[in-house]
A and B are shown apart, each in its own frame.
Chain A
C-alpha cells in the first residue's frame, strides 16, 4: 500500500501549512491607507478605496496627490527635481514618496506595517 491513513493526513496538513505560509509571507504587503503629511503634520489619512485627488499646500506651492483603488501617487509637485513625482504609483505598505522642498510626504500603510517608524 503506497499511501497509508497517516500519509494522507501528513500531505493534507502539509498542503495547509504551505498555504498558510504563503498567506503569512506574501500578504500584508499591499497597503490599504495613505497618510499625507505637510511640514511633518498629518493633513489627511484616507483609505485606498476610491479614486480622488487631494491638493496639499506647501512653501513652494500646491502638491497634487492622486489616489486610486489600491494605489496612490504624487501627480504634480512644484519641486525642481520632481523626484516624488517620478516615483510613480505606490502600492506596497511602507512605501513613501517625499517632496522635500515642498515638505509634503505620501506614505502607504497596510494592516501590518513594514516598519515601526521612519525618520527622514
Chain B
C-alpha cells in the first residue's frame, strides 16, 4: 500500500493566524445570535481581533485573519456565497484597505480608537457600496446612511476602547493574545 503524504510545513506564524482567526470566527458566530433592530447593524466584535492582530502582528496577518473569518463565518452560518456573505466580504475588504492607510497615522496621536472607528466606516462603506451597486440599485440607501454611520461610530469607538484596554494589559498576557491566553496555557 502506497502512502503518500504531502507535508506542508506549518510555521509559527500559520498557527498564530489560525488561532486568532478561530477567535474571530467564534466572535462572529456569537454575534450572529444577537438580535439586531436593523439588518446590518452589528457590534462587529470580530474586528476587535482583527485590530489587535494588526497592531501586534502587522497588516498581512490581519488580512489573513479577516479573510479567514469571513470565509469560515460564511461556512458556519450557512451563508457562504449568499448575498450576506458578499456584503460581509466587501465590508472586510474595504475595512482592510482603510486600515492599510490608517495604520500609517502617527501613533502618538491616533490610537486604536481612531483605527477602529475608521475601520468600522470602511466596513459600512464597502457594504453599502456593494448593496447600492448590486443588490438594491436605486433604493434609497442614502436614507439609511446616517443610521449605519452612527452605529459604526458608536460600535467602532467601543471596540477601539476594548482594543486599547487589551493592549494596555500586562506584558505576560500579551504574549498570547488576550482571551485565548488561558486556553493556550492549558496545553
Contact = CB atoms under 8 A, between A and B. Distances in A.
Given A2-B113, A2-B165, A18 B150 contact: yes
A15 interface: yes
Interface stretch (A5-13, A38-46, A69-77, A82-90): A5-13
Contacts of A2: 111, 113, 161, 164-165, 168
A6 B146 contact: no
Contacts, number: 65
Interface in B142-186: 142-143, 145-146, 149-150, 153, 156-157, 160-161, 164-165, 168
Interface stretch (B3-11, B101-109, B131-139): B101-109
B127 interface: no
B95 interface: no
A112 interface: no
B56 to A, nearest CB: 17
A6 B116 CA distance: 13
* A contact residues, range: 10 to 19
A22 B145 CA distance: 8
A25 B164 CA distance: 33
Contact of A18 (B111, B142, B149): B149
B105 A21 contact: no
A11 B117 contact: yes
Contacts of B113: 2-4, 7, 10-11
B114 interface: yes
Given A7-B160, A10-B117, A14-B117, A21 B146 contact: yes
A18 B109 contact: no
A26 B150 CA distance: 14
B150 A25 contact: no
Given A2-B161, A6-B111, A14-B117, 6 more contacts: A2-B111, A3-B161, A5-B109, A6-B106, A6-B109, A14-B157
Interface of A: 1-7, 9-11, 14-15, 17-18, 21-22, 25-26
A-B CB proximity, top 10 nearest: A6-B109, A6-B110, A22-B146, A7-B113, A4-B111, A10-B114, A21-B146, A2-B164, A14-B153, A18-B150
